Amino acid sequence: LPKYDAIIIGAGILGLATAYHIKREKPNQKVLVIDKKPAAGQGNTAKSGGMFRSFFYSKTNFKLANSSIEFYKRLEESGVDLGMRWTGYLWLFQEDQYKRLEADLKEMERRGGEFKLIDRREIEEKLNINTKAGESEEAEIMNLKNIDIGLLVPKAGKIDVEKLVSYYEREFLRMGGEVIYGTEVDEIIVEPEIKLELPGEPYFWQEAKVSGVRVGSKIIRGKKIIVATGVWADQLLDGIGVDSYQKPKKRQIFVVKAEEEKLKRLLYAEGFNREGCIPFTILPYPRIYVKPSIEEEAFWIGYADDFNRPFQLEEDPQPEENYYRYGIYPVLSAYMPQFKDANPINAWAGQYAINTFDGQPVIFEERNLIVVGAASGSGIMKADAIGRIASALYFGREKAELYGGEEFKVEHLGIKNRYVEREEFVI
């Protein structure tokens, strides 16, 4: 008999949210989470910027993010510290960029998306940045734009990812869930329903299903195996001929301390939010982002480069000094001269697990195997909804109930009957 009802491989945010929701729904389920790292959330979850926003055009994106954010907010209101900071998001645009988005923004507003427009004068006043970068000498080479308008989204900010991981892990353990860390799953075991002891079975005419995992020389049996291994999924799934529909791409974050007065003034810019800091700010082009980290009196800076950045799985990706020096720095300091001569004091790199087709998570089941992944760079802000949908699939339900009561058809994130709305607000 299988020892576990469910074995979840991967204690990242998606594996843990799934584990938590399975136990929450039916505490008598015997659930094991295994991870090769020494503790929970040490894969790409630990590399995250922890930003969230409830502002998307796509109904799919909006439902997943908004319901998760509402859940995290409710937890905080009930006394669980998740380190949520409502900094808001501020997108900066040149007039023509904004004009192209205007119709979609109207529709987003109709759908309940909240935002406020800020004119150039106010941006200059509050941030003291260079709104005329598009007219500078380097503008043509670096494709810089002017800043004419800002789009401020209040229902957005950052969350302490470690605290969120701890919450799901702690509650899962409290409900009797089991974890094994520092243990790599080597293989997913596929066996015939009826064993005939033939060499090399199962054969194609036998009913076969996933029945457990191999860890070294040991086999752990489970009725269902859930693969939530993020960018590493293909290492397990290729061997049994199942596609994970996600590709790894490196992403880097650089931390610049607000040491000088000019950077401090930028960090503690007033008039945007209750936190008394600059919002998470996205430059017009190239869309470098600047995240305030009041706790460290610093900025986290990053950019999601696409073309010419290989899809390449790396166990321990490293930040590239030149990526900051020759990539980010000249652009950043052209728009925000406060960063002139400032160097990062820390940096790291991780990988997005990107669904290259529609950029949305993938959750499907095949012969007792459930795959949960392809969070595509927004797994933290959508984790709760993804966990609920994976749990609904595990229990064989057609619909998941997201936090707040809205229903979500499970197959809409699957493969056969996939239905996701395109994101028009691509920024």
Ligand X SMILES: Cc1cc2nc3c(=O)[nH]c(=O)nc-3n(C[C@H](O)[C@H](O)[C@H](O)COP(=O)(O)OP(=O)(O)OC[C@H]3O[C@@H](n4cnc5c(N)ncnc54)[C@H](O)[C@@H]3O)c2cc1C
Please tell me whether residue 44 binds ligand X under the rule CB under 6 A.
yes
The answer to whether residues 361 and 373 touch, using CB atoms and an 8 Å cutoff, is yes
Between residues 139 and 215, which has the closer beta carbon with respect to ligand X?
Answer: 215
Our finding on whether 166 is near ligand X (CB under 6 A) is no
100 burial (CB, 10 Å; 0-12 / 13-18 / 19+) is: exposed
State yes or no: residue 359 binds ligand X (CB under 6 A). no
Pairwise CA distance, residues 414 & 424, whole Å = 21
Closest separation between CB of residue 352 and ligand X, Å?
Answer: 6
- Choice between 257 and 382, CB closer to ligand X: 382
Min dist CB 205 to ligand X, Å, is 30
Please state the three-class secondary structure of 337-404 as a single string. Answer: HHHCCCCCCEEEEEEEEECCCCCCCEEEEECCEEEEECCCCCHHHHHHHHHHHHHHHHCCCCEEECCC
- For residue 350, state whether it binds ligand X (rule: CB under 6 A): yes
Which one among 247, 251, 388, 412 touches ligand X, defined by CB under 6 A?
Answer: 251
Tokens of 188: 């997913």
Taking only Cα atoms into account, the Rg of the chain, rounded to an integer number of angstroms, comes to: 23
Amino acid code (one letter) for 211? S
* Residue 9 contacts ligand X per CB under 6 A: yes
Residues 84 and 76 sit within 8 Å (Cβ to Cβ): yes
Does 11 participate in binding ligand X (rule CB under 6 A)? yes
Instruction: Answer left, alpha or beta for residue 311, where phi above 0 means left and psi between -120 and 50 means alpha.
Output: beta
Tokens coding 356: 């290259």
Mask: binding to ligand X, 365-404, rule CB under 6 A, as x and -?
Answer: --------x-x-xxxxx-----------------------
In the complex, the smallest distance separating the C-beta of residue 130 from ligand X, rounded to whole angstroms, is 26
Distance CA 211, CA 229 (A): 18
**By CB under 6 A, is residue 319 in contact with ligand X?**
no
Q: Tell me the one-letter amino acid at 357.
A: F
- Locus of tokens 């920024």: 427
Amino acid, single-letter form, for residue 365: E
Tell me the torsion sign for CA atoms 62, 66, 67, 72: positive
Residues 183-222 that bind ligand X (CB under 6 A): 184-185
Of residues 4, 7, 12, 57, which one binds ligand X by CB under 6 A? 12
How many C-alpha atoms does 425 have within 13 Å on its Cβ side? 21
DSSP designation for 135: G
Out of 8, 13, 277, 413, name the contact with ligand X by CB under 6 A. Answer: 13
Interacting residue with ligand X among 31, 34, 129, 371 (CB under 6 A) = 34
Q: Which stretch binds ligand X (CB under 6 A): 109-117, 203-211, 231-239, 393-401?
A: 231-239
**Binding of ligand X at residue 229 (CB under 6 A)?**
yes
Judged by beta carbon, residue 382 or residue 412, the one nearer ligand X is 382
61 binds ligand X (CB under 6 A): no
Total of chain residues touching ligand X, rule CB under 6 A:
41
What the block records as the tokens of 345 is: 């004091």
Q: Cβ(136)–Cβ(172) under 8 Å?
A: no
227 DSSP β-pair partners? 9, 371
Out of 21, 23, 47, 412, name the contact with ligand X by CB under 6 A: 47
Judged by beta carbon, residue 101 or residue 381, the one nearer ligand X is 381
Query: Of 11 and 144, which CB lies nearer to ligand X in the complex structure?
Result: 11
Q: Is 146 in the site for ligand X (CB under 6 A)?
A: no
The yes or no reply on residue 113 touching ligand X (CB under 6 A) is no
Contact assessment for residue 15 and residue 33, using Cβ atoms and an 8 Å cutoff = yes
For the bound state, the minimum distance from the C-beta of residue 128 to ligand X, rounded and expressed in Å, comes to 26
**Do 32 and 7 form a contact (C-beta atoms < 8 A)?**
yes
CB closer to ligand X out of 88 and 134: 88
Q: Which stretch binds ligand X (CB under 6 A): 121-129, 199-207, 227-235, 414-422?
A: 227-235
Q: Which residues here bind ligand X, judged by CB under 6 A?
A: 9-15, 34-37, 42-45, 47-51, 184-185, 228-230, 232, 235-236, 251, 253, 350-353, 373, 375, 377-381
